[in-house]
Amino acid sequence: MPCPHARPEIRELDHARFTPVTEVADALDAHTVLPFSIPHDFTDGFQCAYWRRPECYLDPAIRQASSTFAQLPPSVVEPAIARLRADLESGTWHRRHADLLAQQTMDYGYRLLIAGG
């Protein structure tokens, strides 16, 4: 599931490439589906891991390690990163997303499926 604060291009890409969790749970005959909230300081570098640390996305190495960024053309990524940089420098990002800064975890739709006996 894409992060709700993600660019529309990212949301569209992720919706197209990820199977709905209900279908995966059915295919695995999962008996339990649990939310997997993402801590603000999560050390795994997947896309939503930086929800409270957007400055991380300015690092090309972090973007290169993201399958989402790797699949988007530079014509989408470069202007978005320029806007993010400007918003961080001006304080706009922090004002716009002040509600995120008070959160310790976020539920971005990731789920842990438990199957078998």
> Would you say residue 1 lies in a domain?
no
H-type alpha helices, the chain: 8-17, 21-28, 60-64, 67-71, 74-90, 92-96, 98-101
Task: Find where tokens 């930086």 sit.
Answer: 50
- Average pLDDT of every residue of the chain: 88
The SS3 assignment for 39 reads strand
Number of domains in the chain: 1
Residue 2 falls inside a structural domain: no
**What is the pairing mode between strands 105-106 and 111-115?**
unpaired
| Structural domain boundaries enclosing 109 | 8-115
pLDDT tens digit string along 3-42?
655 666 766 766 677 788 889 899 999 999 999 999 999 9
Provide the pLDDT for residue 1. 46
CATH code, domain with 110: 3.40.50.150
What confidence score (pLDDT) does residue 46 get?
83
